[in-house]
Amino acid sequence: NSILVLNGPNLSRLGKREPEIYGHQTLDDINRGVAESFPDIRFVFFQSEEEGQLLEKLFECEDRGGFIGVILNAGAYTHYSIALRDAISAVGLPVVEVHLSNIFAREEFRRSSVISEVCMGVISGFGANSYHLGVRSLLGIAPRKKR
């Protein structure tokens, strides 16, 4: 019963990256907070700057089995990676798309996501809390998607 928390490019820089938009917590802070909030869940945390590594982690978790689903902040890949979208479609795991910022209240190019359509849902704009809400949603929907 594991959940993969998958973060894409530039999210390794949280804490010092545009804190007025993304907050002051580092990715480690956020991950620790999530793990502490859900002590009964086993989390796998993974971040990469590279698209292919994100895809491979998804495949690896599907193959390994035992995953309830995935919390995914794909960073900028959200807006243009058809490869990521196809990978989400390819795996049988429910994926919740999360964003720290409200992507609908920012630049025009951030308002569209190419992955939303193949995700269970989108949580955007609640800072670190987006991840917590993501886990809650996954726990709520997981029984229906169990395979």
Residues of this chain that bind ligand DQA (CB under 6 A) = 10, 73, 75-76, 78, 99-101, 103, 110
Told to judge if 22 belongs to the known catalytic residues of this protein, a careful annotator would answer yes
Check whether 63 is labelled as a binding-site residue: no
CA dist., res. 37 & res. 135, Å (int) = 10
Q: Which is nearer to ligand DQA, 96 or 103 (CB)?
A: 103
Q: Which is nearer to ligand DQA, 23 or 69 (CB)?
A: 23
Radius of gyration of the chain (CA): 14
Strands 2-7 and 95-99: unpaired
Q: For residue 127, is it left (φ>0), alpha (ψ between -120 and 50) or beta?
A: left
Q: Which of 22, 77, 131, 132 is catalytic?
A: 22
Least distance from ligand DQA to the Cβ atom of residue 103, Å: 5
CA neighbor of 18 nearest in space, from 76, 84, 77: 76
Q: Which is nearer to ligand DQA, 10 or 26 (CB)?
A: 10
Told to judge if 80 belongs to the known catalytic residues of this protein, a careful annotator would answer no
Least distance from ligand DQA to the Cβ atom of residue 90, Å: 22
CA neighbor of 43 nearest in space, from 100, 1, 94: 1
Check whether 132 is labelled as a binding-site residue: no
Q: Which is nearer to ligand DQA, 59 or 104 (CB)?
A: 104
Check whether 27 is labelled as a binding-site residue: no
Least distance from ligand DQA to the Cβ atom of residue 50, Å: 14
List C-alpha distances in Å: 108 to 51, 105, 111, 122. 23, 9, 5, 17
CA neighbor of 116 nearest in space, from 75, 81, 78, 71: 78
The catalytic site residues sit at 22, 99
Instruction: Give binding residues for substrate as ranges.
Output: 73, 79, 86, 100-101, 110
